[in-house]
Amino acid sequence: MKIKLDYKYLCIVGDIHGEFRELAWTIDQKKFEDTAFIVAGDFGLGFYKKGYYEREYQHIKKKLESGNTCILGLRGNHDDPEYYNPESELFLNYPVFKALPDYTRLTWGDREILVIGGATSTDKDWRIAEMSKKPEKKLWWEDERPIKDFSRVETKEDIIISHEAPLNIGPVLMRTSNLDLETYRNIIEDREYLGKVLKESRPSRYYFGHYHCSTSGDWGETLWKGLDINEIVEVRQ
């Protein structure tokens, strides 16, 4: 999927976990104008029925449109992949409130942005146990991990946004006592794939969420940024 962002400014946002109204309120209160906001995963889609998100959209629509702003979101490990599937009836695709399918390419002026969603949940076992108590409450999705399709990555990317972090940047990966071996290996595999994406495509900027901490650094010619919950960072042209 390709999307053109006809906005003067661009901001990346950390995990919002369904706090759409809070983000729209912040955008309105801080008087952002002519700005696109891209949430780096854990957007908050799937814990409620489709009608809930329709109501959320109707609530935030006026605030977003009044300043010519929009909210777009990557798929996180705590998002239902069906809301990111253009062929699904659940696909979230309102004019100023959209889900971004994996490997969507966005153009913003002369910049191009590639998005890659997904991550492995470290608390998967707890979520599955909770779902067994309340089957009607969806808390975990089997296809939560990044889709590994290197053929959709260009030789030289400009800006990449993912939910998970590449293994060669971001938080140091350590296996804690409550993390089973299979989950640990899945996280390594996910981060190694994104590390390959980073190494082979050499983007000028790389952004990720997931870890709920604000970090930054550089890797070769790439400037990278990990975003805390609700953190907003402006991308410079």
Q: How far apart are CA 237 and CA 230, in angstroms?
A: 22
Q: What is the pTM of this model?
A: 0.95
> Which tokens hold the place of 17?
């976990």
> Which tokens hold the place of 51?
């009608």
In the chain, what are the helix, strand and coil shares in percent, each to the nearest 5?
25, 25, 50
pLDDT digits (tens, 9 = 90+) for 115-151: 999 999 988 888 888 888 888 778 888 999 999 999 9
- Report the pLDDT averaged over residues 149-157: 94
Residue 214 — very low, low, confident or very high, per pLDDT cuts 50/70/90?
A: very high
The helix/strand/coil state of 121 is coil
Which pLDDT belongs to residue 179?
81
Q: How far apart are CA 97 and CA 145, in angstroms?
A: 23
Q: Please check the confidence at residue 110 and state whether its pLDDT lies above 70.
A: yes
Of 10, 14, 37, which is closest to residue 165 (Cα–Cα)?
14
DSSP 53: H
Which pLDDT belongs to residue 135?
80
Separation in Å, CA 161 to CA 61, 101, 104: 25, 12, 10
Of 109, 115, 106, 220, which is closest to residue 160 (Cα–Cα)?
115
Which pLDDT belongs to residue 49?
92
Angle between helices 20-29 and 50-66 in degrees, nearest 10: 0
Beta strands 222-226; 2-4: pairing state: unpaired
Percentage of the chain exceeding pLDDT 70: 99
Percentage of the chain exceeding pLDDT 90: 85
* 92: amino acid identity, one letter: L
Q: How far apart are CA 65 and CA 144, in angstroms?
A: 32
CA–CA–CA angle 219, 225, 228 (5° rounding): 150
- Report the pLDDT averaged over residues 201-229: 97
Of 180, 194, 189, 165, which is closest to residue 124 (Cα–Cα)?
180
| CATH class for the domain made up of 7-235 | alpha beta
Please report, to the nearest 10 degrees, the dihedral formed by the alpha carbons of residues 164, 134, 59, 81 taken in order: 40
> Which tokens hold the place of 67?
């300043």
Which pLDDT belongs to residue 177?
66
Of 153, 84, 161, which is closest to residue 115 (Cα–Cα)?
161
Of 168, 173, 175, 165, which is closest to residue 77 (Cα–Cα)?
165
Residue 83 — very low, low, confident or very high, per pLDDT cuts 50/70/90?
A: very high
pLDDT digits (tens, 9 = 90+) for 17-56: 999 999 999 999 999 999 999 999 999 999 999 999 999 9
Q: How many residues does the chain have?
A: 237
Of 26, 108, 40, 28, which is closest to residue 68 (Cα–Cα)?
28
Residue 178 — very low, low, confident or very high, per pLDDT cuts 50/70/90?
A: confident
Of the two residues 173 and 49, the one the predictor is more confident about is 49
